[in-house]
Every structure is written in C-alpha cells, then in structure tokens.
C-alpha cells in the first residue's frame, strides 16, 4: 500500500540576477511536485520541510538573511517587478 502525505511543505526560493525571495508553500500530497512547482518563475531552489510551521520559519529566516546582505528582491523595485 502506498502512503501519500496529506500535504507537502516546501520553501521555494526565486532568484533574479543576484536577488532572492523565499516563501513557504503547501502542496497537496496527491499532486506531482514537479508540475506543482512549475507554476512559479525563476525557481532556484525548493526545500522540503516536515511541517508548515518549519517551512514558514525557514522562509522567514532566509528572507532576513537576504535583507541583511542586500540581496532581498523586494528591496529592489526594478527587480521585483520581474516576478
């Protein structure tokens, strides 16, 4: 018997030039992850997490790091407009 999780929790990172954005996404377990992730442009990474809370915390942490090192997409409007 095959077990499918109710949901998959993923932190997606989008990169344009040298600027980044990370966010958490909840994808139903019955969906094909490859095709579910194709709805996003400029994906440079997708990290699976065990819980929704862990995914949100990881995305928040990475965005804080991007802000601190000057590579956060939304700090550069001309880049953010390309999303």
Instruction: Read off the pLDDT of residues 5-52 as tens digits, 9 standing for 90 and up.
Output: 789 999 999 999 999 999 999 999 888 889 999 999 999 999 999 999
How many domains is the chain partitioned into structurally? 1
| Distance of alpha carbon 19 from alpha carbon 45, whole angstroms | 13
In a domain? residue 47: yes
Range of the domain at 46: 7-80
| Distance of alpha carbon 66 from alpha carbon 57, whole angstroms | 14
Q: Is 19 exposed, middle or buried (0-12, 13-18, 19+ CB in 10 A)?
A: buried
User: Which pLDDT tens digit goes with each residue over 18-29?
Assistant: 999 999 999 998
In a domain? residue 1: no
In a domain? residue 2: no
Q: Above 70 in pLDDT, residue 1?
A: no
């Amino acid at each position: 018997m095959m077990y499918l999780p109710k949901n998959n929790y993923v932190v997606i990172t989008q990169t344009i030039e040298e600027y980044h954005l990370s966010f958490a996404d909840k994808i139903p377990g019955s969906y094909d992850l490859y095709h579910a992730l194709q709805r996003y442009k400029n994906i440079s990474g997708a990290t699976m997490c065990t819980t929704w809370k862990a995914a949100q915390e990881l995305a928040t942490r990475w965005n804080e790091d991007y802000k601190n090192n000057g590579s956060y997409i939304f700090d550069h409007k001309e880049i953010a407009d390309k999303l």
